[in-house]
Structure formats: structure tokens, C-alpha cells
Amino acid sequence: MSETRKRKTKNIPNNSISDKDKTKEGETKTVSPKSNIPLRVLSRAVVIFSLLIIVYFTSNDGAFKIFAKQNEVISGKGQIVECSSAYLREIDKFEGCFPKQCKRFVTDKVITDKEVDELLMIAKKGLKYGGSSGGASILDLHSGALSMGQHFINFYKRSEGKNVFTEKDFTTYKVVKNKIKYSIGHYFGVNPEKIYLTHPTFFSEITSKEAVTVHDEYWHPHVDKETYKSFHYTTLLYLTDYNIDFKGGRFVFIDEKYNRTIEPRKGRVSMFTSGKENLHYVEKVTSGTRYAVTISFTCDKQYAIGDPDKRKFNNDL
């Protein structure tokens, strides 16, 4: 902060000068109308005001727009964003995987109610064998990773996990994955045969319990491509409803002017390019339980993973 300079004022009427401002020789000195406010108080006020402005524009409660409301059925809604240069440089290496535009896109018309109900059942019957000490738990059908206390276990290697998932469960998961994969191809203008399922892909269960480990702190702003090297396209399928099954837990894109918020709706698919153009976070869940499944895709075949199936499940037991 630049230093404030004192300035002399001119032609102040004599009646504006108090006896305190008279010198011993009878002369008078001019006084600024603001001279009775200490400089340090003004400086502190400026600093506080500046901090309030920063908080306002970085807070999701300060400036945001609802991109997708829970109570509306959206056939398809997208927002084009400027691709980050790093994302473009990397994705340009892979034929058929370059998007027409970087964007985020929401639709409620890809996954059926029946499919969502079946996925929610899969999530619940697997997660009941584990559960984080904090408020965020995950179940990965591919690797068998399951939150347990402050750690993760391989659910497929636990004896109590035998016969939990059926072939029908894995088939439902595969059908949903393929629907989302081809939706990315359609809405982003890429060849769906050139994008591949990648790790991690998982169910999430979030409650209002206090975080215990860093794995429970899901609310920090992040870029998927920086967190997971293999990601090029990220999708989320919501299995429960905002403000009905849980409160809080909205998905927030952080943009320069406004944060754009997606309110989870059962069966809603949110998809977006995974670069810096889509910095985001999830609000803290304040009550209830939020279920979703993250299904991620890569353009780099070396990071591709196969679909989970009953045979792999049995081999790991």
C-alpha cells in the first residue's frame, strides 16, 4: 500500500478552526476534515474491505449461477469453455480424441430410472461392508478398492465379499458405461472407439461426518487431469437427489466471473473435459447421503482398463 501524504488545505474559514488549533504565537494551522481519524484506522479499513472483496468473489456463496437445477429435466445443456493449452497439447497426440470444443455438458436423458436403481443397489450392498471413518467412502468395482476406517481394503480378497455382486450387476455397469462413452463421442465430437475406460472409476458415498483423513476432504478445488494423469474426459452419474436425499453436496465449476453449480438429480449425467478449463469442487454435504459414480475416460490406450466382471471377481477371492 502506497504511503499517504499530508496535504495543506487553503482558505479554511476562521470559524472552522478550534482553539486547540491555535499556536502559542496566536497563529492558526489548517486542519483536514478527516484529521481526527487516525491513519492506521483508515489503513486497516482499506485492508479489511479488500479482503472482503476477495472472499466475496472466491466464495461459492458470493457469485454463482445454477447451471442445472435438481427440479428440472434437462435433455441436454452445455457450456463451451476455452481449452487449457496443456490439455490441447496432450490430447493432440491421440487421433480421433480431439474435442470440437472443451466444455461441460449435462443431460438427464441417457440413463434410465431402472439402471440408476440397479447401480444404487450395487453401491449400497458393496459399501455396507466398509465405510470411511470420515464422511467420504468409495467402492471401485474394477480394483476392489473399498474404504475401511482410515484405509482401503481389496474387497475382492475378503471372504465376506463372496457372491456379493452378480453377473447382472456387472452387466448393468457395463451398459451404463457404454451409454456414457457414446454420449461423450456425440456431444464432444470425438470417436467413441478412441476413448477408453480408465482408473479410477468408482462409486462414492458422502455423508456429513467430519473428515478424519485427507481422503475424506473431497471439497477442495482441483483439476482432474492434475489429480489423475490418465484422465481426458470425466463423467459423473448421480444416483440420489439434491435437497431430497441429502443437502449440500452440489458440484461447482469455478469460473472467472461466476461459479456454475450443478444440483445432483437421480439419473443426471455430467461430463466435461478434464483439463484446467474445468476447475471444480464439491460442496460439503450437510445432511443425508449423496451417492454418485465417477466414470472416467482416457485417450491413451496404455491407461485403458477392462470392464469388471464376475470372473475377475472370483479369481481375486
* Chain CA centroid to CA 224, Å: 9
Q: What does DSSP say about strands 145-149 and 131-132: parallel, antiparallel, or unpaired?
A: parallel
- Alpha-carbon torsion angle 280, 191, 100, 173, nearest 10: -30
Active site residue 265: no
Dist. CA 192–CA 184, nearest whole Å: 7
End-to-end CA distance of the chain: 65
Dist. CA 196–CA 58, nearest whole Å: 35
Dist. CA 101–CA 304, nearest whole Å: 23
Dist. CA 43–CA 118, nearest whole Å: 60
- Please give the helix or strand (H or E) that residue 292 lies within, else none: strand 290-298
Name the residue among 72, 77, 85 with its Cα closest to residue 103.
77
Residue the block writes with cell 476447475: 279
β-sheet with 251-253: strand ranges across: 64-68, 259-262, 251-253, 280-282
Dist. CA 102–CA 190, nearest whole Å: 11
Q: What letter would DSSP give residue 157?
A: G
3-state secondary structure of 182: helix
Sign of CA dihedral 222, 218, 291, 242: negative
3-state secondary structure of 79: strand
Which of 250, 265, 268, 290 is catalytic? The answer is: 290
Dist. CA 141–CA 117, nearest whole Å: 17
**Which residues are tagged catalytic?**
290
